[in-house]
Structures are given as structure tokens and as C-alpha cells.
Structure 1
Amino acid sequence: MGKTKNNKFKRPSFSPDGLPATPVKQTGDESEDEDSPAEELLDKLQSPSADVREYACASISRVVQQSQTIPGFLQRDAVRKIGPLLLDRSLAVRETAAGALRNLSACGGPEVCEDMVRQDVLTPLSALLRECCTGFDMSSSPTMKGQKRTVEDVANEAVNLLWNLCESSSTAVSVFNKAGLLDVLLHCLQRHPQNMELAISAAHCMHTVTEENEELVHSVNAAVFGVLENILSTTHTSMEYTLLRTLAAGSLWNLKSGLSSAQQSQTLTALATTLSHSLSLDAGELIPELWQSDHTDARPAGHEAEEMEEDVRDEKMNGRKPNERMSKTKNDISDLLPRDRLELREAKALLSAQQTSLEIIVNMCCSDEPSDDEWEEMSSSDESEVCADGMSDTNSSLFSPLCLSAELHKILLNHSIPQQVTHIITYKKTFMMFVVFIQICENPILILFVSFRMHRVQCRALTCLHNILSSMDTESLGGASGLQAVAQHLSSLVFSSALKDEEFLEAVTSALRSLLQIMATKNIPQGMTPHQLMIFCEAATSCELVSVRVNALAILGITGSSLSKEKNTADTLQLIGNALLNIAMKDSNLVVCGEALDALFDVFADGDEAEKAGKNINLLSSLKALQPGFRAKLRKEGRGKYSPCQLCVLDNIRINLKRFLSYLENLKRCLVDVTSS
């Protein structure tokens, strides 16, 4: 409907259990909090015994993973009580205090992160990070036997806390800039030969904090680019190094405006090389190989599972996270996997590297979106400047390759990025990978972990494909046969059981919508039968996610428009028309109603078959009947409920509805005149 924008990837906040973090409401009523452990644990923070303080921090770290307990801690000023322990004389207390604040920030969501920043948690955190960096060289010698914590363990927790805060709070990013903490992250990055876990955490944090951070871009110097480029040039073949290089590439992309024109060209080539290598790795082959190579002792699966569960219990009891990062996707259990298992770290790093690579490419192929002011200006433009499809003349070249610079376009093609993205979507070896992996592993926890991480990578690949389709020409994507093959696969994904997953359904319908639009403009046969299309739309339009319903209706309009140019399609067009009319009349969301109307305009705009089908479904009288209600609802709900972008498009549809009715009335009069003569 109207202008279809590229998706720009934004990272949401997630809690340790992988569920989206929900804002924690702070209430003054503590009557329901009588059994809360908060008061007792916070009192223990003041104990003269380091062991007691460590126990209290570790317990808080564990308890706050249940988000309903967080208000009890916040009401008792937990942040200001835990914060000073970041500089405790005991390394163990420092680490567990950072872990407690890390979990509080992740489980509490953006509002709690903002509150933590307001309570000045970044002051002791910054001091801790600087002390850790000073202590790296002194702790570089092998640790004493039996020593539990190292400076780098503390730094890793602290970096993850910083990452959480900067990801959720713009204020934290501003403090990060002013405090010059980029140097700290660089120091942690450079520890990759000694401590890869810390380096990856720092790389994740840098990738996040450099995004859309103009203030930081202006302050970077040659040394910053030197560190990142040195990481890109490493030749280590491990999956963890692949992830590290990918994250460094993401930071370089975010900071590219700080480079000279000559440097940008060289850096973009190195960046594309890194992304291409990451995407070229076949998880279907590598994950079973990683697992098999590390299990030559062939221990029984039952013993192995019991050992893992024991490891997890030990980690949780000590209030420590088994992995370097809070899980960031629903049902992701990676935090339950012990970090001393090399094959697990490598498998996770491989899938994380591919996910991150796809997210970077999504943003590379994303043109700048109009600001709210620009949308307002477009909305108030003269009606004569609006095209029949609801787009202004300035937006008519949506699917041209003009969204990318010629140089970037060439670099992506030279490194076969589009082909690698479509390969990941199809994952030809996925089925065999699972067969082999299940036979080797026989551990349901690990199988679940791998399946969900691969599912997430495929979701990112679908979003990436959507943006590539919107910014590259047909031949760049394999020509007609290449597009038909991808369309066939996307159609099969839509009808799969994954249809129940909203994230996946949104990604696959967005990609399919873009693909079918391109195929329609190039007169490439789409390959979906009308019956399949109706089943798809019946399922997708019932989804609670508005974007999925909108995509489904757009697909219906694109396909119907193509069918209207063919012979003997009136019956199918009649089915499509009835479905669109039903949604336009009954859906509670105006954006969805508008998309249904926009699709109707496309399907019944021209052609003998469309005229015949429109007459059979009483299209003219039905649209006349719904017009007053649509206009009234737009006036009543518009400004308060919908964005300027949505209002602009809805207003265009209101205008086009009036014009379309005039067109149908003229068509009817012409038919009457022909009949009477």
C-alpha cells in the first residue's frame, strides 16, 4: 500500500530466558511483596564478609531473572546499593555485582535501564572497566590453580552490562560518548588472543553503540579503524574468530562516514569479503562436524545430558550466566549451555556470525526513510501529484537499483551476496544436517538450541532478501529462473508449520511480497496457483500481526492484477475480490482496510476478466456502501491512532477510492450505452 519501505534491522531488548523484555512497573504498594527476598539480600550487601557480599550479589542475579521480583528490588534502591560493589576490593564481589546489574538490566527492559542510568550506575561501571583494562597485563600470566576469578572475568560481566544499557538507553550512549569508553572496548577487543569471550562481548557492544551514533563517528581516529581492520585481517579459521570479524565489520559499517573516500572503497571490499565468508559457511555440514570431532570418546548420551544439566545447575546456583550474552530470541536456550564446551561455542558463534552478517546487509541495502516532517509534507501535497497506485511521482521507482550506490552494488555482487542469502533461505542441507546431528547428539536440549538458532538466521535472511529485492535489478538476482525458484521456495515456507510463528511469517510474507512485485513488473510467471493463494491469504489475514495481514493483502493484489491480464480468470478474480471486500469492510485496523482497498484498485483496474468479475460481486455498490464509513473512521481515529506515514497513505487511498468509484460508474454507463445501441 503506497510506499513500501525497506526494513532496517533494529535490535530489541530480551531477557535471559529469551523472551522480549517487558517494562517493569514500579508501584508504591508493597503489600504483595511481603515474601520478597529483596530486603534480606540487599542488607547482606553491607556485610563485612566478602563471601556474604558475593553470595548476596549472586542470589540477586538469580532472583531478578523472574521479572515479577524486580519491583521489590527497585523500590528498595537496589541499583544504588549494588553499584558501589562494582569497585569492591574482592574480584569475586565485583564480578557477581556486575552480573546482578546485568541481569537486572536485561530482565527489566528499557525503562529499568533508563532508571539505572539516571541513578548513575555508569560512573562506577566506567571506573571498573578502566581498572580492568589496567589490570589486563598484570593478569596475563597463567592463573593460579584454584583461583576462581580473573580481571577478564570481571571485565566480561561489566562489558555485557554496558552493552545492555547502551542497547536500551540513548542516555547511556550519550554518557558512553562523553566518558570516552570506546577506548575501553578497543582494549577488550585486543584481548582476543588471550580471551575470546571478552573480545566477542566487546565486539557486540561496539557494534551496538556505534549504530547511528554521529557524535561517536566524529571522535574516532585512525587507531580505532586500525584495530577493527586488524581483526578483519586475522586468518584464524575458528567460528569464534568468524563471529569476531563479522562484528568488527558491522562496527566499520556504522563508522564508515569517518573514513575518507579512498579508505571507504578499500574498507567496503574488506567488509564484503568478511560477510561473504561468514555466509558461505554451511551450517548443515559444519555443526555435525563440530559436534562429532569433539565427541570421539562416544560417551552415552544420557550421561552427557546429565552432566550438562549438572553444569547448568552449578552455574545458576552461583548466579553466573553460562554464556557471554543474554539470549535475544524467544525460546533460545543458549544461556543454558555450558561455556566450556568448545563445539557448542563454535556452533553458536557460526550461527551468530551468519545472523549478524545478514543484519548488516539488511542495513546496507536499506535506503534512508523519510522523516515525519517529510511524510507530513507528502501528505499535504496536491492531489494531482498522487498516482493511481497511491504513490507520489517521486516514489515511483521503488524497485530500481537506485537505493544503492553503484560502488556498493558492484561490491555486493562481486562477492555473490544475493546468491548466498537465497542459499541460506533454502538451506538445502538443513534436513540432512538435522538427521546427522540427531544421530550423533541424541540430546533434545542441543537439538532445540540448534533448530531455533537456524530458524532465527533464516528469519534474518528473509528480511535481507526483502531489502535486496528492493535495491537490486533482476539479473543481479539470477534472472527469471532464479526469481521463480526463490518464489517457489518462499511459497512452500508460507504453507509450512512455521506459519504459526509471527516473526517468521512477517519475514517470509515481506520477502514474498517484494519478489512477486518484481516478477509482476517483469511479466515473469509467479507459479502460485489461485487455490494456494487463497489458502495462504485466509491463514495470513487472520494473524494478529498487522504487518502480516498487510503483506498478505498486497500479495493478493499483486497476483490478482497479473491474473486480470490473462484469459478465463474471472472466477479466480471473483474469489479474490470477495476476500478483499470482506476485509475492507470488517477489519478493525484502518491500515489493513486501506491495503485491502488498494489491492482492489490493482485487481479491478482494467481488463475484460476484471470487468466481468467486478460485476458478479457487485463491486461498485459494495465500494459505495463502505466509502462513508471509511472516511468517517479516518477522520475519527486518524490523528490519534496512526503515524504520519500511515495517514499519508490512507489519505491517498481515500482519494483513490473516490476516483475508482468514478471510473466504475463511467464503465457502467459505457456498458449501458453499448447495450442500448
Structure 2
Amino acid sequence: MGKVRKTKARKVKNAVVSEESNEEEQLSNDSKENAVQTILDQLQGASVEEKYCGLQTLAMFIEIPENIDEVINQGLVKVAAPLLLDPASSVRNASSGMLRNLSAVKLDICDSLMDQDIMTPLTCYFHEHAESWIPDPISKSRDEDIDTFVQCVNLLLNLCESSDLAVKYVGQSRILDILPRYLDMSLFGIDIVAAVLQCLFVVVEDNPLAMEKIKSNCQKQLQTLIYLEGTDPSQLLIKTLSAGVIINTHGGKLTTLPIEMINQIMSILAKTLSVDHRFACNQLSSQVPLKNTSGKMEDPPKIKDAQILDKQIKAVIQMLDAQQSAIEIIANICSDEDGDDINSDSSSENNEIDEEICQNGNGTLLTEDKLPPEVLEALVNFEVFQRVWARTEMPAQNVVMILKDYEGSQLICKKLQSLQTRALLCVNNMISSLPNASLGGVNGIYKIWVDAGKLVFKQREENLNLLESATAVMRAALDKIKLRDSDKASDISLFNDLAISDIEIMLTGIRQCEVPEIRSNLIRMVGILALLLVNNLNDITSNVICTITDFIIEQSHKENEVWVLAEALDTLVDLYAEDETDYLAAKVKLVDKLAILAPILKNKARQQKRLPKEYKVLVNTAITNLPRFINYKKERVSKL
């Protein structure tokens, strides 16, 4: 009876809570709808004060993530965006700042902004307000107008980064004829020039129409900017961005530039990355106000001190922006695509070169052999890899917390995370593009693998972008070790200290991973690790290989994404391709287990037809190769 009464009481209590919760939710929704309606009324008001107040309120409203969908669904962008063309400079400024902040929330927000026709008023702003504008030193709205222009350029950058349609709009407008005039440092200053260069860096990439326009409109200005004197953060930012735009106007092909310009660009990238970002953040952390024992921020600095602090914060932000841009440039230089010649006419000549290079004893064309020799030489001479790798290290945790606690320096923490992630992605490209010696030899590559593993398995990072890039580095490092030319039997010595508990940490990490890209990297990585152990089979290594095999089989049955399943099965095919693994294959009953998974792969492939091209290739290859491998291994195992 007691249990029954308790159950009834709990139901009544829950019902009351549910009713209260529904009432609170209804009040919240009503309040939100009222706020949106008030903002709409103000944005459509007749006076400057009403419109300005509405934009300010909207700017605060979108700071709460839960409000973003309401703003989009109620079409507030359609009302706020035309205010970029308002006669009042204060309204234009408030509109540009709010829209820029909204566009920076996440990429799919930019798609929503495009759906609400943000490009029409934004394009009109550049045509009507930027075609001949020059900051007036005596104008009361000078600083406001400069900020509006910078915000509009940054808004355009965010839209073009996430939307091909936005890039198309830019190409059809006069924007690319207007922006080059803002590269005059003496007339417009560093903030404007930097904003324009950042935008052009994005818009010009892989865009033939934009390449030609920028080449014809500002090639000489860009070349002037890369030869600027000085090494303070603002100048490094300008020079780095200018170098990036120059490379992108040449289709990303450094080799189409004169050799002296290649050296100048590589020198700029090296100098930008030689600045110790951790030391700069350490110094800044000693200047910002701290929280006292009660958790409250100390008194804000006096006006003069505050201005000095703002300049210091701005300098660190410029330095981090410059370093991220440099890393993105290097990552593109070292990408696989960079090894392909842009002109198809020269393909036969390249093939002859490839054949010549292949006379290296095993007929294999290494990725580093495809990197243009002058580019490879510059990367090695300027120690670019070491400089990029240094950017994967964050400042001390206490320094990061101090910068995060002070509102004025919170942006630096976000930029540090972004820099670390981009640096790891760049390292991933560089590992496959540089010779072993430039990476510290096999022991150096192994250390990279270990250090990246600490980010993935030891620190339990919640930053998924960081985890994906770190796992990509781990995979690339093991790939590099696997492909090296020296005696592979000695590779096992690198993993002498790798305990079975370390393997279990990796396997547990994969089991708990919810992101397919990260899961795929980790599965391939443990597969390569097992493949390296095949070179020195004994009781211990055989046990590890079998453990990894059983794990990949187990994961394959649980895997929902067909392309990750294909990656896992392809990993097993690679692992057991060598004949010396026949007895291990028999031990784990590999043939029978793969025979069960083959139809599962086909079935999932039929269900998941809409895949990116590279994933389709992976899945189709696995479907083709798996039956052949099963038949081959079945015959081999039957003879044991």
C-alpha cells in the first residue's frame, strides 16, 4: 500500500511540476514574442532613436543562443539589413555590428542570412557608401564610419566563407573593383587595410573571376605591402595577408611566382610564426585586472591605463590573426592538391619527372617528392614545420583562465583555440609533404604522434574540432612511419613502451566517440599501429594485434555511418594483406567475421547513397575489394 501511495503521490507532484513548467515556458515564449515584436516596431520606426534602440536591443537579444532561431524565424534580418543604407551613420553602424555578430555565431546562420536576402543591402552599401568614401579627419562620425566599413567587410567575409552564393554575388557586383582602393595604408590605416585583405584572402581562393579582377586592380599594391618595413603585430598581419592574397590570385601555386617573391613570402611566414604567442599571452595576463577572493573583478584600470591595455590586447589579437593566416597559407601549400600542376598541357612532362623520381629503389613516388623543390627548400630552410608545431601548444592553464575572466581579453582565448586547431591541421598536411629529416626523423615523428595523443586521450578536450585535427595528426604520423624506406622491422622499437593499457585507452576513446570523422581517424590509426607491429611478431605483439582486430570487428557491427564502416573494413584488409598474418587471421576467425560484415556493408551503402564524393569512392572501393580479399585469405588460411 505504501508503494502504491508513493507512486500516486509522485504522479500528482510531477503533474503539478509539469503544469508549473508549462506555465513558465508559456510565459517565457510570450515574453520572447513580445520582445521580438517590440524590436520589430522599433526597427520600423520613423526616428533615428527608435531604429538605433531597436538595433541595440536586437544586438543584446542575439547574445543568448536560444534566441537566434526566433530572430531568424521572425524575419528580423529582412528588417534590420536595409538599415545598412540608413541616412544616419549611427544606425548604419549599429546595423553592421549586429549583423556581423550574428553571422559569426555559426556557419548555418550565414545560410539563413542569405535566405533572407542580406546580400542586396550589403552590396548596395558598398556601391553607395564605399565607392568614393575617404575618412574625414574632422568629421564627428569618422570613427563610427570606419567601424561600419570594417564591420561590413567582416560580414561579407563571413558570408563568403560559408556560402558559394555570396561569392557569386560578389563577382557580379562592383565590390571587387571597390575594395582594392582600400589597400592604401597612408589613407585608410591598418584596421581597414587588414579587414579588406582578410576578405580578399577568402573571396579570391579558387575563384578565377576574382583572381583576375584583383590581379588587374591591385597587384602592385599587394607587392608593395609584402615589402613593408617593421615587425610589429599589425605590420606582420598586413604582410602575411598580402602574401596570402598574392598566392591565391595565382591559383594557390607558389611556383608561378618569381623565385625572389617566393623567398620573400616564405620569409614573411617564418617571421610571423617566430613570434612566441605563449610569451605574449603570459605578458598580457600580468596586465589585465584579476578577480579578487570573492570572485569579483578588480576595479577597472584608469582611462589612460585602459587605453594602454586595449592597445596591448589589440596587438595580441593581430599577432594571433597573422599566425593563423600564415598557418592557413602553409597548409594550402602543403596540401595534396598543390602537388598537381594547374596546366593539363604539362601533365606528360610531370609524368616524366615522376618516373625519374621513382627511381628510388622501390618505384614509389613519395608525397614530398611532388612538392616543388624551391618550395620544399624554403620550407626546410626557414624551419617552418618547427614554427607551426610550436603553435599547437597553448599558454599555461592559469594564463588562459586569467584572459578568459577579463571581458576585454576573452576573444584572445577563442583565437588561441582556433590557432591550435588550424596548426594541427597544417601539421597533418606537412607530415605527408616533408621528408623525414625535416620532421626530426622517425623518432621526431613518433614524438609528434605521442604529443597529439595526449591532446586526444589524456586531456579529455571538449573541443571537437581540436580532437578531429589531433586525431588526423596521429593518423598521418603513423602513416609516415609505415611508409619510411629504412628497415621496417625496427619500427617496433618505437612502441616498446606502449603498454596494453595504452591500447585500451585508445579503444575506449573510440567507443565513446560520437563524431564520425574523429572515429574514422582513430580506427585507421590503431589499424596502422597494429600493422607496424606485424613487422615484429611475438606473443606480446600478436596479442595486441588480435585485440585491435577484435575491437575493429566489434565497432564495425555497431557503426551506423557506411563510410566509417568502409574505413574500418579497409583497415582490416590492409592489416592482414601480408602473408605472415595468416595464422593470426585464423586465430581471430577473420574470414568468417568479414563474410558476415560484407553484406552489411552493401546494405548500408544502398541505404546511404547521398555521400560526399570522397566517401563514395571509399565505400565503393571497400565493396569491391572486400570479397576478393575474403576469397584470397580463405584460401591462404585453409592451407595452414
**TM-score, normalization: structure 2?**
0.79
Cross-structure match for 2:595:
624
For residue 521 of structure 1, report the CA deviation from its aligned partner: 1.9
Cross-structure match for 1:412:
379
For residue 308 of structure 1, report the CA deviation from its aligned partner: 6.0
Cross-structure match for 1:551:
521
Matched, 1:140 2:110: no
Alignment partners' CA distance in 1, 2:144 and 2:408: 29
Cross-structure match for 1:534:
504
Query: Relative contact order (C-alpha < 8 Å, sep 6+): which is higher?
Result: 1
For residue 567 of structure 1, report the CA deviation from its aligned partner: 3.1
Matched, 1:305 2:297: yes
Cross-structure match for 1:578:
550
Cross-structure match for 1:612:
583
Matched, 1:655 2:617: no
Identity %: 23
Alignment partners' CA distance in 2, 1:443 and 1:80: 36
Compared CA separation, residues 310 and 449, structure 1 to 2 (3 A):
farther
1:547-577 deviation per Cα after TM superposition (whole angstroms, max 9, x unaligned): 1111111112211112122131222222122
Alignment partners' CA distance in 1, 2:466 and 2:69: 33
Aligned to 1:218, what secondary structure does the other structure show? helix
Alignment partners' CA distance in 2, 1:450 and 1:301: 24
Compared CA separation, residues 642 and 129, structure 1 to 2 (3 A):
same
Alignment partners' CA distance in 1, 2:211 and 2:227: 22
Matched, 1:565 2:532: no
Matched, 1:185 2:154: no
Compared CA separation, residues 436 and 426, structure 1 to 2 (3 A):
closer
Compared CA separation, residues 167 and 32, structure 1 to 2 (3 A):
farther
Aligned to 1:540, what secondary structure does the other structure show? helix
For residue 515 of structure 1, report the CA deviation from its aligned partner: 0.9
For residue 604 of structure 1, report the CA deviation from its aligned partner: 2.5
Note the aligned Cα RMSD (angstroms).
3.7
Cross-structure match for 1:114:
114
Matched, 1:588 2:555: no
Matched, 1:474 2:436: yes
Letter in structure 1 aligned against 2:504:
M
Q: Which moved more, 1:565-574 or 1:50-59?
A: 50-59
Alignment partners' CA distance in 2, 1:304 and 1:187: 47
Cross-structure match for 2:352:
none
Compared CA separation, residues 369 and 641, structure 1 to 2 (3 A):
farther
Compared CA separation, residues 283 and 658, structure 1 to 2 (3 A):
same
Aligned mate of 2:97, from 87, 96, 99? 99
Aligned to 1:621, what secondary structure does the other structure show? helix
Compared CA separation, residues 213 and 304, structure 1 to 2 (3 A):
farther
Letter in structure 1 aligned against 2:35:
P
Cross-structure match for 2:571:
599
Q: Contact conserved, 1:240 with 1:346, CA < 8 A, in 2? A: yes
Q: Which moved more, 1:87-96 or 1:261-270?
A: 261-270
Compared CA separation, residues 101 and 573, structure 1 to 2 (3 A):
closer
Letter in structure 1 aligned against 2:583:
K
Aligned to 2:618, what secondary structure does the other structure show? helix
Compared CA separation, residues 117 and 272, structure 1 to 2 (3 A):
farther
Matched, 1:197 2:194: no
Compared CA separation, residues 39 and 669, structure 1 to 2 (3 A):
closer
For residue 193 of structure 1, report the CA deviation from its aligned partner: 7.3
Alignment partners' CA distance in 2, 1:351 and 1:662: 55
1:413-438 deviation per Cα after TM superposition (whole angstroms, max 9, x unaligned): 222112222233356xx44xx56787
Aligned to 2:161, what secondary structure does the other structure show? helix
Compared CA separation, residues 242 and 290, structure 1 to 2 (3 A):
farther
For residue 611 of structure 1, report the CA deviation from its aligned partner: 3.3
1:144-175 deviation per Cα after TM superposition (whole angstroms, max 9, x unaligned): 6xx68543123223222322333333333223
Cross-structure match for 1:502:
464
1:491-536 deviation per Cα after TM superposition (whole angstroms, max 9, x unaligned): 3333221444321221111111111111122234543615223321
Alignment partners' CA distance in 2, 1:76 and 1:630: 44
Alignment partners' CA distance in 1, 2:557 and 2:590: 12
Compared CA separation, residues 489 and 399, structure 1 to 2 (3 A):
farther
Matched, 1:288 2:287: no
Cross-structure match for 2:424:
462
For residue 215 of structure 1, report the CA deviation from its aligned partner: 0.7
Cross-structure match for 1:238:
232
Cross-structure match for 2:12:
none
Aligned to 1:212, what secondary structure does the other structure show? coil
1:625-664 deviation per Cα after TM superposition (whole angstroms, max 9, x unaligned): 3333333333x324x2433432332232233222222233
For residue 255 of structure 1, report the CA deviation from its aligned partner: 0.8
Compared CA separation, residues 356 and 649, structure 1 to 2 (3 A):
same
For residue 397 of structure 1, report the CA deviation from its aligned partner: 5.6
Q: Contact conserved, 1:530 with 1:572, CA < 8 A, in 2? A: no
Aligned to 1:571, what secondary structure does the other structure show? helix
Compared CA separation, residues 290 and 101, structure 1 to 2 (3 A):
closer
Q: Contact conserved, 1:79 with 1:119, CA < 8 A, in 2? A: no
Cross-structure match for 1:387:
none
As a proportion of its length, which structure holds more helix?
2
Cross-structure match for 2:5:
none
Compared CA separation, residues 222 and 261, structure 1 to 2 (3 A):
farther
For residue 72 of structure 1, report the CA deviation from its aligned partner: 5.7
Q: How many residues align?
A: 576
For residue 402 of structure 1, report the CA deviation from its aligned partner: 4.0
Q: Contact conserved, 2:583 with 2:637, CA < 8 A, in 1? A: no
Q: Which moved more, 1:488-497 or 1:205-214?
A: 488-497
Alignment partners' CA distance in 2, 1:479 and 1:264: 31
For residue 345 of structure 1, report the CA deviation from its aligned partner: 1.3
Q: Which moved more, 1:510-519 or 1:661-670?
A: 661-670
Aligned to 1:495, what secondary structure does the other structure show? helix
Alignment partners' CA distance in 2, 1:398 and 1:110: 42
Aligned to 1:165, what secondary structure does the other structure show? helix
**1:51-90 superposed matches below 5 A:** 51-66=49-64, 69=67, 78-79=76-77, 81-90=79-88
Q: Contact conserved, 2:285 with 2:399, CA < 8 A, in 1? A: no
Matched, 1:163 2:157: yes
Letter in structure 2 aligned against 1:134:
W
Alignment partners' CA distance in 1, 2:586 and 2:548: 13
Aligned to 2:220, what secondary structure does the other structure show? helix
Cross-structure match for 2:329:
360
Aligned to 1:588, what secondary structure does the other structure show? coil
Alignment partners' CA distance in 1, 2:73 and 2:468: 39
For residue 543 of structure 1, report the CA deviation from its aligned partner: 0.8
For residue 37 of structure 1, report the CA deviation from its aligned partner: 3.0
Gaps of 5+ in 1: 1-30, 312-336, 372-395, 672-677
Letter in structure 2 aligned against 1:465:
V
Q: Contact conserved, 1:217 with 1:258, CA < 8 A, in 2? A: no
**1:664-675 superposed matches below 5 A:** 664-671=633-640
Aligned mate of 1:253, from 244, 247, 252? 247
Letter in structure 2 aligned against 1:553:
I
**1:320-335 superposed matches below 5 A:** none
Alignment partners' CA distance in 1, 2:181 and 2:404: 41
Letter in structure 2 aligned against 1:470:
S
